[in-house]
Amino acid sequence: MMPCSRISSQPRRYGSVVRMSGPSLARRFRDLGSGARFLARALGSRYSPLLAQLVVTRRCNLSCGYCNEYDDHSPPVPLATLVARVDRLASLKAAAITLTGGEPLLHPHLDRLIAAGRGHGMIVTLITNGFRLSPRWIERLNAAGLQAMQISIDNLEPDDVSMKSLAAVEGKLALLAQHARFNVNVNSVLGVSGARTEDVVVIAKTAARYGFQHSVGVLHDHAGMLKPLSGPQLSAYATVTKISPSLVHRLNYRLFQRNLMHGRPNEWKCRAGARYLYVCEDGLVHWCSQQRGYPGIPLLEYTRDDIRREFNTRKSCSPTCTLSCVHQMSLFDRYRGAQRIADPTAARAAASDQIVV
């Protein structure tokens, strides 16, 4: 999933690899401006999207057993089409966009799309498996103004469940440490395989050795719902969060992940469709990657009225949702805006069940 904002202290060092590059002073000031706009929209308005995840291609160069967000044949979305979507998000006053897939580095003009988003003053981040990274690609991302990258690594060696292994991409981490002028976060999913639980600790230490942050996601099922963690997995989670401490990570743990990891639901107001938008390759707005199909309105036709409606709509899937970015984008409205509109997808599901019977 997508990289969400992280307020982090420096990761503990494990070894002697030192990042050779980083954001310039001018870029740091520009990033501060983007961050200030994000906070202003988070606190000053209820009906401005804080984060939109934009699918640039459904195709992926890998085939991981637990992933349901890819295919092996779809072409990249045309650049002009994507730029129009970014322009529309800017007109809706979206604060940040995350480019995702599939595998976004399969899009030949990804850097031009990043530049378009940065031209609107939005925070622009990227989720990738890292396999296609090269010095040339990293320089293109630098020049475009990319602010953060999340690279997904789940195990030490590839298996049928996840091909995103440290063995395959540690060389890419070295390239990022040498060339990247944007922030890098390594994300691992806990619960993928009980036999690979300790792999997450090694990955976190490796990320810290390169000067990168590390975060942990909780495995969800095909609908984004929780899968409780085992005792060893809970222990690994505690170890990893000490290696790479983060204020946002701690807050997310206390408000959401602690319950989920023990198989307990959460009580919260999900603002998907309003504060968080998932825009698929067809340009339709969905609540999230795991609840595709509603509202299903083309982004170019999405209005402030749509945002207001979804802000005030209850989501019956929210108690057991594991999607951290939706959690985090909904935090700012935790104590405001009662949701009085019933979940329309629940009514549709009930009607469908009656038809089947």
pLDDT in tens, 65-75: 888 889 999 99
**Residues whose CB falls within 8 Å of the CB of residue 140, separated by 6 or more in sequence, listed in order:** 110, 111
Cα(304)–Cα(75) distance, integer angstroms: 31
Given this model, what pLDDT does residue 302 score?
98
| Average pLDDT for 336-356 | 73
Whether the pLDDT of residue 337 is over 60: the answer is: yes
**Per-residue H/E/C for 10-39:** CCCCCCCCCCCCCCCHHHHHHHHHHHHHHH
| Torsion angle of C-alpha atoms 45, 48, 50, 56, degrees rounded to 10 | 180
| Average pLDDT for 295-304 | 98
**Per-residue H/E/C for 216-239:** EEECECCCCEECCCCHHHHHHHHH
User: In the numeric block, which tokens belong to residue 299?
Assistant: 């982004």
For β-strands 148-152 and 183-190, DSSP reports them as parallel
Cα(123)–Cα(234) distance, integer angstroms: 33
Report the range out of 37-41, 105-109, 289-293 with the highest average pLDDT: 105-109
Q: Concatenate the DSSP letters of all residues of 137-198 into one string.
A: HHHHHHHHT--EEEEE--BSS--SS---BHHHHHHHHHHHHHH--SEEEEEEEETS-GGGTT
| Average pLDDT for 291-315 | 97
Q: Which residue has the higher pLDDT, 268 or 353?
A: 268
For domain 25-348, the CATH architecture is Alpha-Beta Barrel (3.20)
Given this model, what pLDDT does residue 228 score?
77
pTM over 0.85: yes
Whether the pLDDT of residue 354 is over 50: the answer is: no
Name which of 201, 174, 212 is nearest 8 in CA terms.
Answer: 212
- Chain-wide mean pLDDT for the chain? 88
Q: What angle do CA 252, 122, 329 make, to 5 degrees?
A: 20
Q: How confident is the model at residue 355 (pLDDT cuts 50, 70, 90)?
A: very low
**Residues whose CB falls within 8 Å of the CB of residue 165, separated by 6 or more in sequence, listed in order:** 153, 154, 155, 156, 157, 158
3-state SS assignment for residue 117: helix
Share of the chain above pLDDT 90, in %: 67
Name which of 89, 119, 47, 73 is nearest 298 in CA terms.
Answer: 89
Question: pLDDT per residue over 147-191, tens digit each?
Answer: 999 999 999 999 888 899 999 999 999 999 999 999 999 999 886
Domain boundaries, the chain: 25-348
Whether the pLDDT of residue 266 is over 80: the answer is: yes
Least confident of 198-202, 237-241, 245-249, 334-338: 245-249
Given this model, what pLDDT does residue 129 score?
96
Question: pLDDT per residue over 32-88, tens digit each?
Answer: 778 888 999 999 999 999 999 999 999 999 988 888 889 999 999 999 999 999 999
CA atoms within 13 A on the CB side of 342: 5
Q: Which residue has the higher pLDDT, 252 or 27?
A: 252
Q: Which residue has the higher pLDDT, 24 or 153?
A: 153
Whether the pLDDT of residue 115 is over 50: the answer is: yes
Given this model, what pLDDT does residue 18 score?
57
Whether the pLDDT of residue 260 is over 80: the answer is: yes
Cα(88)–Cα(82) distance, integer angstroms: 10
Whether the pLDDT of residue 357 is over 50: the answer is: no
Name which of 249, 300, 238 is nearest 90 in CA terms.
Answer: 300
Q: How confident is the model at residue 322 (pLDDT cuts 50, 70, 90)?
A: confident
